[in-house]
C-alpha cells in the first residue's frame, strides 16, 4: 500500500507542476482580458503599472508593456482586432479614423506580434498629436497598410499580425471613469481590403 | 483506494496552483532583472528615439526621447537632477524591481527646473534642506528610473539631446 501512496504522490506532484507551468501563459491572457475595459476593438486596464495590479496582470505587463505608467499619468489602449472583431493582419489595409482624443499628448503606434516596432523603409512607426493632419472638425484618418497611401500612412511592413497602441498622456476626466471609458469615442479601425 | 485517489487529486491541485503562482510572481522580477543587466548601474543612459532595431524593451514609443537609469540605493540615497525642456510633455518616473510604477512627476508638477529628485532607500532618512527636492522612497533597492520627453518635431532632436545630457546622478551618504 505504501508503494501505491508514493507512486500516487509522485504522479500528482509531477502532473500538478506540469499543469501549473503550462497554464501560466493562458492564465495571464485570461486574467488580463477579464480585467480589461473594452471599447470597440480597444481595451485598457486601469491597474496597469499600479501597485494594486494583481500578479497576473503585473506579469502580463512585464511581458508585453514593460515600464508602463500608471493611469494617473497615462492611459494605454491596445487593439488586436478591427471593428468587426477580426484580427489585425499585415496583409490587410485598414483605415483608422476618429476625433483627436482629449489628452495633453496622444499617439497611435503599430507593433508586430513580437511587441516591437515594425521595420519599414520610411521609418514611420506612429502618428501623434504633434504632427498628424486634422480636418476642419478636428478629425483624423490614418491608413495602416503595406502599400503607400496619401496622407497619414502607417506602414505595416512585413508583419503578419499587428497590434495598435493608443497612448493618452494626461488624458481628460472622461477616461478615468470606468463606465464612460466603455462609451467614449475612440478611433475606429475599419478594414478596407 | 478512495482516500488515495482523493488525496492524489488534492495534491495535484495544490501543486498546480502553487507552481503557477510562484512562476507568475517571478515573471516581473525576472524581466526587470534581465532588463537592468543591459544598462550600467547608477548612471544615466541617453537613448536615441526608438526604431525597429531596438529590441531591448517591448513596445517602445518612437515619439519619446528616453533617458534610463538603473538605480541601486543599497549604498545610500541617490540625488537625480534633470533639465526640463519647455513647451512639451516631459516626465520622470520610477519602477520597482517588480515593475510597479512607484512615482511619476511631469513637467507641470516639477518644483524646479532643473528638477531634483532624491531616491531614498526604505528606512533611510534625508534632510531636504532647500525643500525643492522631490523625496521619493524606493520600494526596492534596485529598479529603473525613466525620463520621457515628447519629440514634437525631428528638427528639435539636437536641442532635446543637449538638454537630456545635462542629467546627473549622485550617491549621497546614508543616515539612520
| CATH number for the segment(s) B44-171 | 2.60.40.1610
Chain A contact probe: residue of B2, B3, B7, B8 with most A CBs at under 10 A = B8
Using CA atoms, how far apart are residues B71 and B77, in angstroms rounded to an integer? 10
Closest A-chain CA to B20:
A20
CB contact under 8 A, A5 and B50: no
pLDDT band per the 50, 70, 90 thresholds, residue B174: low
| Cell of residue A159, nine digits | 508583419
Of B8, B21, B31, the CB nearest to A66: B31
A134 touches chain B (CB under 8 A): no
User: Per-residue pLDDT tens for B48-89?
Assistant: 999 999 998 999 999 999 999 999 999 999 999 999 999 899
A130 touches chain B (CB under 8 A): yes
| Cell of residue A90, nine digits | 499585415
CB contact under 8 A, B19 and A116: no
Torsion of CA B152, B157, B163, B169, to 10 degrees: 100
Using CA atoms, how far apart are residues B5 and B23, in angstroms rounded to an integer? 27
CB contact under 8 A, B24 and A4: no
DSSP B99: -
Mean pLDDT of B11-16: 96
pLDDT at position B3 over 90? no
Q: What is the mean pLDDT of chain B?
A: 93
Secondary structure of residue A17 in the 3-state scheme: helix
User: Per-residue pLDDT tens for A61-74?
Assistant: 999 999 999 999 99
CB contact under 8 A, A62 and B28: yes
Cβ burial, residue A193 (10 Å; 0-12/13-18/19+): exposed
DSSP B108: T
Q: Which residue has 491541485 as its cell numbers? A: B13
Using CA atoms, how far apart are residues A4 and B5, in angstroms rounded to an integer? 10
Q: Largest Cα–Cα distance in chain A? A: 83
Beta-bridged to residue A110, according to DSSP, are: A164
What topology is assigned to A35-191 in CATH?
Answer: Jelly Rolls (2.60.120)
User: Per-residue pLDDT tens for A134-172?
Assistant: 888 889 999 999 999 998 999 999 999 999 999 999 999
B45 touches chain A (CB under 8 A): no
Give the distance, in angstroms, between the CA of residue A159 and the centroid of all CA atoms in the same chain: 16
pLDDT at position A89 over 80? yes
Where do the structural domains in chain A lie, given as residue ranges? 35-191
pLDDT at position B129 over 80? no
Of A53, A67, A107, the CB nearest to B95: A67
pTM for the predicted model, two decimal places: 0.91
Interface of A with B in 74-103 (CB under 8 A): none
CB contact under 8 A, A59 and B24: yes
For residue B7, the surrounding DSSP H or E stretch is helix B2-36
pLDDT band per the 50, 70, 90 thresholds, residue B176: very low
B152 touches chain A (CB under 8 A): yes
Q: Which residues of A touch B13 (CB under 8 A)?
A: 16
Interface of A with B in 1-60 (CB under 8 A): 4-5, 8-9, 11-13, 15-17, 19-21, 23-24, 27-28, 49-51, 53, 55-56, 58-59
Contact (Cβ atoms closer than 8 angstroms) between residue A102 and residue A172: yes
Amino acid at each position: 500500500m505504501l508503494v501505491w501512496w508514493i507512486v500516487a504522490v509522485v504522479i500528482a506532484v509531477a502532473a500538478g507542476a506540469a499543469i501549473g507551468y503550462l497554464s501560466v501563459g493562458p492564465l495571464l491572457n485570461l486574467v488580463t482580458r477579464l480585467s480589461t475595459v473594452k471599447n470597440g476593438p480597444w481595451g485598457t486596464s486601469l491597474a496597469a503599472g499600479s501597485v494594486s495590479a494583481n500578479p497576473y496582470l503585473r506579469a502580463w505587463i512585464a511581458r508585453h508593456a514593460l515600464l508602463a505608467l500608471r493611469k494617473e499619468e497615462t492611459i494605454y489602449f491596445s487593439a488586436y482586432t478591427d471593428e468587426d472583431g477580426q484580427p489585425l493582419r499585415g496583409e490587410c489595409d485598414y483605415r483608422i479614423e476618429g476625433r483627436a482624443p482629449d489628452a495633453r499628448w496622444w499617439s497611435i503606434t503599430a507593433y508586430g506580434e513580437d511587441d516591437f516596432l515594425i521595420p519599414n523603409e520610411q521609418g514611420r512607426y506612429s502618428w501623434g498629436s504633434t504632427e498628424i493632419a486634422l480636418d476642419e472638425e478636428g478629425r483624423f484618418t490614418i491608413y495602416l497598410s503595406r502599400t503607400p497611401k496619401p496622407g497619414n500612412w502607417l506602414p505595416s511592413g512585413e508583419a503578419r499580425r499587428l497590434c495598435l497602441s493608443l497612448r493618452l498622456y494626461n488624458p481628460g476626466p472622461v477616461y478615468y471613469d470606468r463606465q464612460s471609458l466603455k462609451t467614449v469615442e475612440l478611433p475606429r479601425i475599419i478594414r478596407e481590403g | 483506494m478512495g482516500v488515495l485517489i482523493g488525496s492524489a487529486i488534492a495534491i495535484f491541485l495544490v501543486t498546480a496552483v502553487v507552481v503557477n503562482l510562484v512562476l507568475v510572481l517571478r515573471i516581473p522580477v525576472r524581466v526587470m532583472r534581465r532588463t537592468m543587466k543591459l544598462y550600467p548601474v547608477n548612471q544615466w543612459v541617453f537613448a536615441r528615439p526608438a526604431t525597429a532595431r531596438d529590441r531591448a524593451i517591448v513596445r517602445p514609443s518612437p515619439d519619446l526621447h528616453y533617458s534610463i537609469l538603473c538605480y541601486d540605493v543599497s549604498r545610500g540615497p541617490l540625488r537625480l537632477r534633470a533639465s526640463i525642456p519647455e513647451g512639451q510633455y516631459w516626465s520622470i518616473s520610477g519602477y520597482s524591481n517588480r515593475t510597479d510604477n512607484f512615482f511619476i512627476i511631469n513637467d507641470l508638477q516639477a518644483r524646479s527646473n532643473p528638477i531634483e529628485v532624491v531616491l531614498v532607500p526604505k528606512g533611510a532618512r534625508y534632510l531636504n534642506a532647500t525643500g525643492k527636492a522631490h523625496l521619493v522612497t524606493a520600494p526596492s533597492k534596485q529598479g529603473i528610473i525613466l525620463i520621457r520627453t515628447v519629440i514634437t518635431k525631428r528638427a528639435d532632436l539636437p536641442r532635446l539631446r543637449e538638454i537630456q545630457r545635462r542629467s546627473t546622478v549622485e550617491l549621497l551618504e546614508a543616515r539612520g
